[in-house]
């Protein structure tokens, strides 16, 4: 089991955690995210768009970083937009 931290881009205070089995598919992660926040996430789980929170140098975005703090505050800064442009997760990934 792994704990993943998620946030809705452009929505302040939206960060939450999801527990999922290691090796589970992205499709299963979408289901877990939808089940964790059914009132906030109103689309079908299959329609969620997920992105890896990796920086331009391939490192994971750290919670204490300025970029992560801005994401948590609802700001869509260039670093976040770059992650979205380059790191979309496919439902078939594990």
Position 40 scores a pLDDT of 92
DSSP 60: B
pTM here? 0.85
Q: Where are the domains of the chain?
A: 2-86
Q: Which residue has the tokens 């869509």?
A: 76
The rounded distance, in Å, linking the Cα atoms of 55 and 79 is 7
Long-range interactions of 1-7: CB distance < 8 A, separation 24+? 4/29, 5/63, 6/33, 7/71, 7/72
Position 91 scores a pLDDT of 81
20-70: pLDDT as tens digits: 999 999 999 999 999 999 999 999 999 999 999 999 899 999 989 999 999
Beta bridge partners of 79: none
Position 61 scores a pLDDT of 92
Beta bridge partners of 19: 3
The rounded distance, in Å, linking the Cα atoms of 45 and 39 is 13
């Amino acid at each position: 089991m792994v704990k993943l931290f998620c946030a809705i881009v452009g929505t302040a205070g939206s960060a939450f955690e999801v527990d999922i089995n290691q090796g589970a598919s992205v499709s299963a992660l979408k289901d877990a995210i939808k089940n964790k926040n059914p009132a906030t996430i109103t689309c079908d789980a299959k329609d969620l768009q997920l992105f890896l929170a990796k920086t331009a140098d391939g490192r994971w975005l750290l919670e204490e970083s300025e970029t992560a703090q801005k994401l948590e505050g609802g700001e869509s800064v260039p670093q976040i937009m770059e992650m979205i442009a380059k790191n979309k997760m496919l439902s078939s990934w594990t």
